Amino acid sequence: MTKFRKLLTYLILALSAQSALLSPAHAVERFRPFVLAWRGHADFQTRVAEVRQALESAGFDIVADFSPYPEDAYLDELRILVFTSGELKRLAARSRYGGFATAQRVSISRHRGDVQVAYVNPTYMAHAYRLSTDLKGITDKLAGALGRVRDFGSEKGLTEKHLRTYRYTFGMEYFDEPYELASFANHEQALREVTRNLAAATGLGITPVYRIDIPGKDETIIGVTRRGRGKEDRYYDDHWIMDNVDFGELHTTAYLPYEVMVTGNRVIAMSMRFRMAVYHPDLSMKGRDSFMNIIPSPLAVKNVLGAAVTGNLAANITHK
């Protein structure tokens, strides 16, 4: 009987310990790429103005305010605000390619009377972009300014460890495997040529919408919109791509715009096979709503950005 009691006691203690490890207090925190700040019925332009005011009152600098979609888009209206701050730029400057995190984004969308305000989760971005900080202070400041109804974009969410080593699947790129678009003799020449070439790239459907210089580093981020020039160029078109992946109840349009980085004498951009996947981690590989629908896009995006930053306006943007 004594041996039985000892065994029973051991089993009870073991199960209790296992239960404690699995309890919410000990659970590994998971993160989702987007935050729904507000949803309801409202005048669209008024809501845009309120979001602008809230960001500025919280100390953020708005560097872009644009509508990326054509009039016949799947959404009735869409505005993207890109914003940054001195604090964001200082924190991002500490990490390799950290400049990508300086451009935070909020979308205001309207579809059949449903207005949504959503922004990229800064802490999710910090982990995915391997910053030396989790940007929790920025996340909290945004929640205070815009609201935080719920996080979305992944059913289960991703852990910090997963995000900091993220790739969608074997053979696809990590964060530190960007597109190499061009190189120049030095940073000054790279920035001068890229700025000039992007300003003239409207013939390719590429339009620069903001520029952020990273303090203390030879690094600059330039956000661009992409409009395909015809049927063959649809694969790099912002609207065509998002129409294939933004099919959920809550819109992931704060994914836009895409960024080009001038870092030292190099010109790079995040691989779309990383960037699209990390912001849409639950998207299946095959099926009706899947990555298969946009298979030509990563190469088309790389090619059109390369043509734009080098001034090759006559380029044939192949996607094969």
CA distance 280 to 152: 10
Which pTM was predicted? 0.90
Per-residue pLDDT of the chain (320 residues; tens, 9 = 90+): 455 455 444 444 444 444 444 445 557 999 999 999 999 999 999 999 999 999 999 999 999 999 999 999 999 999 999 999 999 999 999 999 999 999 999 999 999 999 999 999 999 999 999 999 999 999 999 999 999 999 999 999 999 999 999 999 999 999 999 999 999 999 999 999 999 999 999 999 999 999 999 999 999 999 999 999 888 799 999 999 999 999 999 999 999 999 999 999 999 999 999 999 999 999 998 877 788 999 999 999 999 999 999 999 877 777 76
Position 10 scores a pLDDT of 47
What is the edge-to-edge ordering of all strands in the sheet holding 34-40?
A: 61-66, 77-84, 104-111, 114-120, 34-40, 150-152
Domain borders along the chain are 30-310
- The whole-number pLDDT of residue 7 equals 47
Residue pair 318/303 in contact by the 8 Å Cβ criterion? yes
Spatial contact of 80 and 107, defined as CB atoms under 8 Å apart:
yes
Consecutive H or E run containing 65: strand 61-66
DSSP 224-288: EEE--SSGGGGGG-HHHHHHHH--SSS--GGGPPEEEEEETTEEEE--HHHHHHHHSTT-BSSSS
Q: Report helix, strand or coil for 191.
A: helix
Tell me if residue 6 falls in helix, strand or coil.
helix
pLDDT of residue 316: 73
Q: Return the pLDDT at 19.
A: 45
Phi-psi sector, 89: left (phi>0), alpha (psi -120 to 50), beta:
alpha
Look-up: residue for tokens 């790079």? 268
311/309 Cα distance (integer angstroms): 6
Which residue has tokens 């044939």? 316
Q: Residue 16: left if φ>0, alpha if ψ -120 to 50, beta else—which one?
A: alpha
User: What whole-number distance in Å separates Cα of residue 6 and Cα of residue 291?
Assistant: 56
Contact status, residue 36 vs residue 150, Cβ threshold 8 Å = yes
Q: Which amino acid is at 61?
A: D
CA–CA separation, 154 and 102 (whole Å): 23
Fold adopted by 30-310: TATA-Binding Protein (3.30.310)
